[in-house]
Structure 1
Amino acid sequence: MERWQNKVVVVTGASAGIGAVIAADLVKNGFIVVALARREERLQENHRALPENLQSRYYPRTCDVTNEDQVKDTFAWIETKFGGTDVLVNNAGMGVVGVELSAANNTEPIRNILETNIMGVVYCVREAFNSMKNRNFDGHVVIINSITGHYVPIVPFGPLNMYPPSKFAVTAMVETYRQEFANAGTKVKVTVSYLLSSS
């Protein structure tokens, strides 16, 4: 961990659940954390919950990862304030239970899942990777995925809609990123973590 002391890590979906825990643990392990989420009040609560001596290392910032302009603005702010992004933990994700993929008038939940689970990853990884590449920094991209990115379970509580297909896409994206990062001549690593369910 010594190599990562005082490095800048961006954590998406950091207002609650897994993302909130990851952001707090990274602060405690010497990182400067930029915590992104849509719910500013939750980010501020997480900030206040940290020990006082660590609060100056945690930067809550409102950012909806489905909004490309907000993502660009956020990473530009990080570039200006800290010099760039060293690590990205892409944790933001969403699912909808109980709405069938073949149901009538289900476009909104399908779009919400795709925009968050796929396009949110695309926007954030693109900005983080280019920050690393432009500075010739051997950074790290971590993508939190789900085991439903490998198989579609039969669940007792209802259909999972577009959630498993979106996670299959993320599985393919990770391998695509691995190849692209190497082909670009960088040593930026990409790692995927599979969970029983997404944050």
Structure 2
Amino acid sequence: MERWQGKVAMVTGASSGIGAACAKALVCAGFVVVGLARRQERIAQLQQELPTRFRSNLHACKCDITKEESVNDAFKWTQQKLGAGVDVLVNNAGIIATTELSARQNTNEIRNTIDTNLLGTVFCTREAFNSMRERDVEGHIVIINSVAGLQVPNLGPNLPSLNIYPATKFALRAMNEIYRQEFQRYKTRVRITTISPGIVDTDILPTSIRNVVKDMLPSLTSEDVADAVLWAISTPPNVQVHNITIKPMGEKF
């Protein structure tokens, strides 16, 4: 990780769960981290969980990644605040609509899921890549995906439908390959990796559903996913880690 010391990493959805774990892990690995979230105050709380010597290297930036202008402003803020562009981007922000896909009056949930999981990733990746390309630097973009992007899990009648969520994750897998091809087309030193975890114990699900899932199925921790992010970006510059799939022991999918 020596080549990344003092470099800037940006993490979306950094206020909780996987995003918070990634932000903490990257700061402790020597990065200056910008955490994007609508709940900016949660990142300020996260700072207090860090060892004192690292706290000044975590910065909170309020951002709604579903809004293109908000994303653009976050990248401008990072450049102005830190005097540097983003070298590592972790696209983590994501949500799940838990109504049935075939149900009536679920349009807002579907749109919000697509806007967050797909368009948010597009907006952030576009800004990060072009900054890396213009500066001609080594860069790494990570997309937190899901095993639901590899196979649609059948959760059975006792758990809710995953709605449009798996479709967005399948799309992220396709986007990963498109980005890889585009980054090579311009002969950049930017790499792209997706990380596809199984069930992770986070608050992406409503508490009532989350408790049922925890009782029925094994799960990973957010720190497990953050470890995979660190491993991917620590590989040599000539190595393209295309996708990492991690599952909890005992998972039946």
Of 140, 165, 168, the residue aligned with 2:167 is 165
Deviation, 1:101, is: 0.9
Aligned residue type for 1:164: P
The aligned counterpart of 1:111 is: 111
The aligned counterpart of 1:91 is: 92
Extract unaligned runs of 5+ from structure 1: none
After superposing the two structures, state which structure 1 stretch, 24-33 or 49-58, moved more: 49-58
Q: What TM-score comes out, normalization by structure 1 length?
A: 0.96
What is the SS of the residue equivalent to 2:195?
strand
What is the SS of the residue equivalent to 2:136?
coil
The aligned counterpart of 2:216 is: none
The answer to whether the 8 A contact 1:8-1:82 is kept is: no
After superposing the two structures, state which structure 1 stretch, 175-184 or 78-87, moved more: 78-87
Q: What TM-score comes out, normalization by structure 2 length?
A: 0.76
The aligned counterpart of 1:65 is: 65
The aligned counterpart of 1:13 is: 13
CA separation in 2, counterparts of 1:181 and 1:71? 21
Closer/same/farther in 2, CA of residues 176 and 38 from structure 1, 3 Å limit: same
CA separation in 2, counterparts of 1:160 and 1:126? 28
Deviation, 1:54, is: 0.9
What is the SS of the residue equivalent to 2:169?
helix
Of 176, 179, 190, the residue aligned with 2:178 is 176
CA separation in 2, counterparts of 1:44 and 1:22? 15
The aligned counterpart of 1:187 is: 189
CA separation in 2, counterparts of 1:108 and 1:197? 25
Identity %: 50
Deviation, 1:61, is: 1.0
The answer to whether the 8 A contact 1:141-1:188 is kept is: yes
Aligned residue type for 1:132: M
The aligned counterpart of 2:121 is: 121
The answer to whether the 8 A contact 1:138-1:188 is kept is: yes
Aligned residue type for 2:58: Y
Q: How does 1:3-82 map to 2 (within 5 A)?
A: 3-80=3-80, 81-82=82-83
CA separation in 2, counterparts of 1:16 and 1:82? 27
The answer to whether the 8 A contact 1:10-1:85 is kept is: yes
Encode CA deviations 1:168-190: one digit per residue, 9 max, x unaligned. Answer: 11000000000000001212000
Do residues 148 (structure 1) and 148 (structure 2) align?
yes
What is the SS of the residue equivalent to 2:21?
helix
Aligned residue type for 2:57: R
CA separation in 2, counterparts of 1:197 and 1:38? 24
The answer to whether the 8 A contact 1:47-1:60 is kept is: no
What is the SS of the residue equivalent to 1:49?
coil
CA separation in 2, counterparts of 1:112 and 1:162? 10
Aligned positions, number: 198
Deviation, 1:102, is: 1.1
Encode CA deviations 1:119-165: one digit per residue, 9 max, x unaligned. Answer: 00000000000010000011000111001111111113121100000
The answer to whether the 8 A contact 1:72-1:127 is kept is: yes
Aligned residue type for 1:177: Y
